[in-house]
Chain A
Amino acid sequence: MSAQKTSKKTTGKSAGKSSAKAAGPAVTELKEHIVEIISDSGEGAQRCGQSLGSIAARMGNGIWTTEIIPAEIRPPARSVAGASGNRIRIGSGYITNGGDQTDLVVAFNEQVLLGRVRARELKPNCIILLESMWRTHNDINIAMAYKETYSRLVEAGYQVREVPMEQECLKLTPDAKRGKNMFALGMLCYLYSFDLQAARDQIALTFGKKAQTIIDANVVLLEAGHKWASENFDYRFCIPATPAKQAQIATNGNTALALGVMASGMELCAMYPITPATSASHYLSDVFEKVGGLVHQAEDEIAACAFAVGASYASKCTVTITSGPGYSLKQEAIGLAVMAEIPLVVVNVQRGGPSTGQPTKSEQGDLMTAIYGSHGDAPKVVMAPATIEECFYSMITARKIAESFNTVVVVLTDAMLATSQQPFARPQFNEAWLAPPIDQSAVPDGAKPYDWDATTGIARRFIPGQPGGMHTVTGLAHDRQSHVAYDPDINQEGLRARSLKIAALQKTLLPPEVVGDDKGDLLVVGWGSTKGAIEEAAAALRAEGKKVSSVHLRFLQPMQPGIKEILQRFKKVMTIETNWSDDPADEIIDETNRRYSALATLLRARYLVDVDCWTEVKGQPVKPSTIRRVLLDKLQK
């Protein structure tokens, strides 16, 4: 991952004085750049950013887009906490995460920009393209605020360039607010030397459902932005692309998840709206029926989960998609599915917690709840996709496991995966993904509904409609006949069987892959959305000769085989997670009271290895540069 080095190259130079070209400014070649477009919400920065990402991907660039979302639906205009938009990391090669600080930002007002500056999201000498309309605003306070911020940013070393976006757009449209984003897109296409035709095609795709006049109006603005930039900027960039050999699709994690549901053979999704999970169900509501599936919006998450249990019981393995608070509400019904051995897929798109927490922010705070949630011993499978692509395939795997082992499979993603976009190889449909037809054959004489296999704990399930299979499933302790158990030995037997199924699954899993040498000074263990950042940081350190490797876990319950052996080959082991862990530097924290992060706790308990952890719960994706610093620190300790 040469990313870090490349960005240094640009920071060293003042933009625009590299190779000379006959016409137009010199084009600086970059390995990667991070671009942001921010505005008040409703001004279209999100769409501009997404389009830019898609155009870059069309050009064959690697991209990772991250949404910038204000906590409120409509924060007041021009507020520091109100930035809404998109951040796109564009690279020559494959991009696995959002990266570090921003190289170039387009801001529709200086206040939202201030929010980003204060959050230290911008590089020290970041290029800022700032809407200039505020300088001459009628409201003297606004004009003053603008001028003051402008001067301060310039003083601080940012390369601020004022752009009369509003003024230019007004020449073409009466409502500049609605078109500015396309003007900005045109500018960016010029600045990054993207093919204007690819941008036009992208607009046609984005506005595909709308009238041709709307598409045309947007194209006019796009071209105007491009032209204005060509006449006014004395620098230009190019990020050489290495187009993928295979066809690629670019989606965010929630869309990938919903596509995965469609592909998995599941036919029903029962849900109750909750951020940041909802967009998966929105999308699914739109497309699922076209393939004969449907989304049921229940009256609450308890109902959604119970509904899913009912449908799964009756043979249609169902998914229920939620986030933290909703996941808590589902616990009792999840326990029922575990007890009655009904296949069920539960997706938890994690957000900040506890309680209502940070609805739009990302966290990995629900791992323990996922594994240990629901009262009593309720063993279930817990998986965590680590990339957008894995969000897609995880649904297919989850349904298969749920139905093969008659158990609950919890899939943990998070707000960051849910809203980030990344291209991946267009999946090749495989009929084997789908569920087999419902078994309605007669049950053999004497067969029992819970005839637990002595070794694996697995029993064949009887589905309503199967003659001879009549029985009453129950959440009460039950025997092999599904009769309520009054004998203490039977409870023991049932718990054993349900637990063995987890071990049986584990026997089918492969050891995780170690990225880097398979032994060394430091091993970083992660799970979920942090994969790209961890691997980038570790690779950067390896490039400096450090003996750092990483391993990323897709299964958290059961854990893949071979992990202990891997941990033992490293002098130090630590996890990087985005959940809480006590800081040993805090005055009253010591080894007797330190609360480790979720995965570190699990690894310590399971493998008796001294696993340290570093975590951050700022709701933002952890940056590779932060991880790099943490790892260096750990190496030196």
Chain B
Amino acid sequence: MKFSSTECLLDLYEEKLELEDYQSGVPRWCTGCGDNAILTAVQRLCRDEGLRPEKTVFVSGIGCSSRFPHYMKTYGFHGIHGRALPIAEGIRLARPDLTIFVNTGDGDCCSIGAAHWIHALRYNMNLTVFLHDNQIYGLTKKQASPTSPIGTKSNTTPRGSYLDALNPLSVALGVANASFIAQAVDWIPESLFEIVKAAYHHKGFSFVRILQRCPEWLPKLHEADMQEPDAVQLLHHENALQISPNLAKVYKNQLKHDPLDIHRAREIASSTDVVPVGILYQNREIPCYEDTRQTGILRTPDIVRKGLEAEFDKYEV
């Protein structure tokens, strides 16, 4: 499939857009909800990158976090629970010209949509995906999610959840064709922004797990990590993110990590003593499914006619 030159011809007039130009409505998230921090970082990204609102689509599933597209003054698709990724894939295959983001929750992505998540990593389509991982089902009022730490008390696990948490980073790092896997925390805005930006600039399926606070249901979950800067380990490398002097002052626990080293990435992903923050894995060489499937054939009426006539010939009696 290819775009004909008559499609999507836009006057891309030079116009500087401000933050307000990307903002829509008043977010209805709880005060202190980490989704607000993610929204701020993403709106800043759109402004800094000068993304055309009409050429940008935010796709989401269902959950608190999936309300995200409603707060962006771009195109948006607030879909159904668990299916944000296949919807986004369809948009991507149809429209190479659009910038596409996906917002998905831990239930949305790692539970009901888990099959799509695995396969989306493998398709490696050019999408920027934010996993808003609050380790709980927010919208449906506090049920354990696959990423809830074992022992999490919730409405379906009043005596504590039974199973070890699924580690989205380790899972993602186990899938063939994974090309960009990062982790961010909502409470370090500067690093969150840098990671979101790196994800946006990666061509392929950029998967960012964001540890997102849910003060409503799990107010204490990240308290300790927030109070102890050394609990967070910032990843840096000349081929990845560099740590700004500002951040370096506060966050002294730093690790140089080559994002091409997948074995090391898997070790880092499974750390239990620190929260690694940064790009765990990035491989720019992995082909995108939509490029692999490019036929280079411009779909003109004449091409369709010729193709059909050739087929009719085969079946003529």
Which residues of A are in contact with B by a Cβ distance under 8 Å?
Answer: 54, 57-58, 205, 247-251, 255, 259, 262-263, 265, 267-268, 270, 287, 289-294, 296, 298-300, 302-304, 306-316, 318, 332-333, 336, 340, 423, 426-427, 429, 431, 434, 437-438, 440, 464-476, 483-484
Partner of A307, one of B57, B87, B303, B315: B87
Q: Is B309 an interface residue (CB 8 A)?
A: yes
* Interface flags, B277-310, vs A, CB<8A=1, else 0: 0000000000000000101011101011111111
A291 and B80 alpha carbons, distance in the complex (Å)? 32
**Chain B residue contacts of A314, Cβ below 8 A:** 57, 90-91, 94-95, 98
Which 3 A-B pairs have CB atoms at the shortest separation, nearest pair first? A310-B90, A472-B76, A292-B299
**Chain B residue contacts of A302, Cβ below 8 A:** 83, 86, 116
Interface members, chain B 89-105 (any A CB < 8 Å)? 89-95, 97-98
- Please tell me if the beta carbons of A469 and B54 are within 8 angstroms of each other in the complex: yes
Residue of A nearest to B75 (CB): A464
Name which of A303, A318, A429, A440 has the most chain B CB atoms within 10 A of its CB: A303
- Please tell me if the beta carbons of B295 and A289 are within 8 angstroms of each other in the complex: yes
In addition to A289-B297, A440-B7, 20 A-B residue pairs with Cβ atoms within 8 Å of each other are: A249-B316, A267-B299, A291-B306, A292-B299, A298-B86, A303-B115, A303-B119, A309-B79, A310-B94, A313-B87, A340-B77, A434-B301, A440-B8, A440-B10, A464-B91, A464-B98, A465-B95, A472-B75, A472-B78, A474-B77
- Please tell me if the beta carbons of B59 and A437 are within 8 angstroms of each other in the complex: no
Q: Is B311 an interface residue (CB 8 A)?
A: yes
Interface members, chain B 1-19 (any A CB < 8 Å)? 1-2, 4, 6-10
Q: Is B151 an interface residue (CB 8 A)?
A: no
Q: Is B73 an interface residue (CB 8 A)?
A: yes
From residue A428, how far is it (CB to closest CB) to chain B in Å?
10
Partner of A291, one of B58, B72, B75, B299: B299
**Chain B residue contacts of A315, Cβ below 8 A:** 94-95
**Chain A residue contacts of B93, Cβ below 8 A:** 268, 294, 296, 307, 311
Given A249-B316, A267-B299; A336-B80 close (CB under 8 Å): yes
A306 and B77 alpha carbons, distance in the complex (Å)? 12
Q: Is B53 an interface residue (CB 8 A)?
A: yes
From residue B42, how far is it (CB to closest CB) to chain A in Å?
14
Partner of B316, one of A247, A287, A311: A247
- Please tell me if the beta carbons of B304 and A467 are within 8 angstroms of each other in the complex: no
Partner of B8, one of A265, A438, A475: A438
27 contacts between A and B (CB under 8 A): A205-B314, A263-B308, A268-B90, A268-B94, A290-B307, A290-B310, A292-B303, A292-B304, A294-B293, A303-B83, A306-B83, A307-B93, A309-B87, A311-B91, A312-B90, A314-B94, A316-B94, A427-B312, A438-B8, A440-B9, A440-B10, A465-B95, A468-B54, A470-B75, A472-B76, A473-B77, A474-B78
- Please tell me if the beta carbons of B86 and A470 are within 8 angstroms of each other in the complex: no
- Please tell me if the beta carbons of A471 and B75 are within 8 angstroms of each other in the complex: yes
Partner of B307, one of A287, A306, A316: A287
Q: Is B317 an interface residue (CB 8 A)?
A: yes
Q: Is B213 an interface residue (CB 8 A)?
A: no
- Please tell me if the beta carbons of A270 and B1 are within 8 angstroms of each other in the complex: no
Q: Is B69 an interface residue (CB 8 A)?
A: yes
**Chain A residue contacts of B315, Cβ below 8 A:** 249-251, 255
Which residues of B are in contact with A by a Cβ distance under 8 Å?
Answer: 1-2, 4, 6-10, 24-25, 53-55, 57-59, 62, 69-70, 72-80, 83, 86-95, 97-98, 115-116, 118-119, 293, 295, 297-299, 301, 303-312, 314-317
**Chain A residue contacts of B118, Cβ below 8 A:** 299
- Please tell me if the beta carbons of A248 and B316 are within 8 angstroms of each other in the complex: yes
Given A290-B307, A429-B305, A470-B74; A307-B314 close (CB under 8 Å): no
- Please tell me if the beta carbons of A291 and B70 are within 8 angstroms of each other in the complex: no
**Chain A residue contacts of B305, Cβ below 8 A:** 429, 431
A561 and B51 alpha carbons, distance in the complex (Å)? 50
- Please tell me if the beta carbons of B316 and A318 are within 8 angstroms of each other in the complex: no
Residue of A nearest to B9 (CB): A440
Residue of B nearest to A255 (CB): B315
From residue A393, how far is it (CB to closest CB) to chain B in Å?
13
A255 and B315 alpha carbons, distance in the complex (Å)? 10
- Please tell me if the beta carbons of A465 and B54 are within 8 angstroms of each other in the complex: yes
- Please tell me if the beta carbons of A475 and B87 are within 8 angstroms of each other in the complex: no
Residue of A nearest to B22 (CB): A470
Residue of A nearest to B87 (CB): A310
**Chain B residue contacts of A308, Cβ below 8 A:** 90
Residue of B nearest to A256 (CB): B315
From residue B13, how far is it (CB to closest CB) to chain A in Å?
10
Partner of B54, one of A270, A303, A464: A464
A86 and B88 alpha carbons, distance in the complex (Å)? 43
From residue B76, how far is it (CB to closest CB) to chain A in Å?
3
**Chain A residue contacts of B78, Cβ below 8 A:** 472-476
A560 and B72 alpha carbons, distance in the complex (Å)? 43
- Please tell me if the beta carbons of B317 and A311 are within 8 angstroms of each other in the complex: no
From residue B294, how far is it (CB to closest CB) to chain A in Å?
9
A294 and B93 alpha carbons, distance in the complex (Å)? 10
**Chain A residue contacts of B307, Cβ below 8 A:** 262, 287, 290-291
From residue B253, how far is it (CB to closest CB) to chain A in Å?
39
A267 and B96 alpha carbons, distance in the complex (Å)? 14
**Chain A residue contacts of B298, Cβ below 8 A:** 292
Given A294-B293, A294-B295, A306-B79; A472-B90 close (CB under 8 Å): no
**Chain A residue contacts of B87, Cβ below 8 A:** 306-307, 309-310, 313
A484 and B62 alpha carbons, distance in the complex (Å)? 13
- Please tell me if the beta carbons of B299 and A313 are within 8 angstroms of each other in the complex: no
Partner of B80, one of A306, A429, A440, A465: A306
A249 and B77 alpha carbons, distance in the complex (Å)? 43
A440 and B8 alpha carbons, distance in the complex (Å)? 6
**Chain A residue contacts of B59, Cβ below 8 A:** 310
- Please tell me if the beta carbons of B83 and A291 are within 8 angstroms of each other in the complex: no
**Chain A residue contacts of B86, Cβ below 8 A:** 298, 302-304, 306-307, 310
From residue B27, how far is it (CB to closest CB) to chain A in Å?
13
From residue A323, how far is it (CB to closest CB) to chain B in Å?
20
- Please tell me if the beta carbons of B119 and A299 are within 8 angstroms of each other in the complex: yes
- Please tell me if the beta carbons of A294 and B1 are within 8 angstroms of each other in the complex: yes
Partner of B95, one of A300, A309, A332, A464: A464
A313 and B2 alpha carbons, distance in the complex (Å)? 17
Name which of B6, B298, B310, B311 has the most chain A CB atoms within 10 A of its CB: B311
**Chain B residue contacts of A467, Cβ below 8 A:** 10, 54
- Please tell me if the beta carbons of A473 and B299 are within 8 angstroms of each other in the complex: no
A292 and B302 alpha carbons, distance in the complex (Å)? 11
A267 and B98 alpha carbons, distance in the complex (Å)? 18
A248 and B116 alpha carbons, distance in the complex (Å)? 44
Name which of A57, A263, A299, A464 has the most chain B CB atoms within 10 A of its CB: A464
Partner of B317, one of A249, A296, A318, A336: A249
Name which of A259, A313, A438, A470 has the most chain B CB atoms within 10 A of its CB: A470
A437 and B299 alpha carbons, distance in the complex (Å)? 11
- Please tell me if the beta carbons of A310 and B55 are within 8 angstroms of each other in the complex: no
- Please tell me if the beta carbons of B10 and A318 are within 8 angstroms of each other in the complex: no
A467 and B299 alpha carbons, distance in the complex (Å)? 25
**Chain B residue contacts of A304, Cβ below 8 A:** 86
From residue A424, how far is it (CB to closest CB) to chain B in Å?
10
From residue B170, how far is it (CB to closest CB) to chain A in Å?
20
Name which of B4, B73, B78, B303 has the most chain A CB atoms within 10 A of its CB: B78
**Chain B residue contacts of A268, Cβ below 8 A:** 1, 90, 93-94
**Chain A residue contacts of B62, Cβ below 8 A:** 475
Residue of A nearest to B71 (CB): A472
Residue of B nearest to A339 (CB): B80
A434 and B305 alpha carbons, distance in the complex (Å)? 10
A54 and B314 alpha carbons, distance in the complex (Å)? 11
From residue A185, how far is it (CB to closest CB) to chain B in Å?
16
